[in-house]
Amino acid sequence: MTKPRRMYAAAIAVAATAAAAALTGASTAASANAPNCAGPVSDTWINVTVDGVRNGNGLMAVTLYADEPRKFLVKKGSMYVGRVDATAPETKMCLFVPKPGVYALAVYHDEDSSRNIKRSGVLGLPEEGFGFSNNPPTIASIPSFRSVRLNISKTGLSTRIHLKYP
C-alpha cells in the first residue's frame, strides 16, 4: 500500500519535471524566433542593424559590455563578442544578452576574419570599420561610456549602429 505522503511527493516531482520541460521548450522557442543570433543563448536579445558596411567580406563583431564604465573598451573588459557574416550595405543580426538591463555595444567590421580589430602601428587607430551603440561622435577620441549606454528592458528591441571607416 502506498502512503499518501509518497504519492504527494511523486506528484510534485512529476509536476516539477513537466514545468522544467515547458520552460526549456519556451526558451528554445524564443531563441528560434531570433534568427542570426550570436552570443550565449538566453531569453533576452536585441536586434542590431549595422549600416554603412562597405563590403561583405569577413565578419561583423558586436562586443557586449556590462554597465561598468571601468571595463568599457579595456582588454578582457567585455562580456563577450558575437560574430556573424558581414553583408553590405548593412548587416542584421541579434545579440543575446544575459537578462534585461543596461549594456553598451561596440561593433567592428572584421574584414579579414582575424577575430581582432586591425590597428595602425604608431597611434593604434582602427583600420577597419567601427561603431558604438547610440552612434556618438568619435572624431577626436573614443566615446564616453555614458554616451553609449543602452537600456535593453525587454527582448526583441532594435538598435541601429552606423560604421565609420578610417
The SS3 call for residue 22 is: helix
Looking at residue 159, what is its pLDDT? 97
Q: What is the pLDDT of residues 102-121, one digit of tens each?
A: 999 999 999 999 998 888 77
Per the prediction, the chain carries an average pLDDT of 83
What is d(CA 129, CA 109) in angstroms, rounded to the nearest whole number? 5
Task: Give the alpha-carbon dihedral of 102, 108, 93, 137, to 10 degrees.
Answer: 50
Look-up of cell digits 558596411: 53
pTM: 0.77
DSSP string covering 85-124, please?
A: E--SSEEEEEEEESSSEEEEEEEEEETT--SS--B-TTT-
Which stretch of 27-36, 54-63, 97-106, 111-120 has the lowest confidence by average pLDDT? 27-36
Q: What is the pLDDT of residues 145-158, one digit of tens each?
A: 999 999 999 999 99
Q: Residue 78 is placed in which grid cell?
A: 567585455
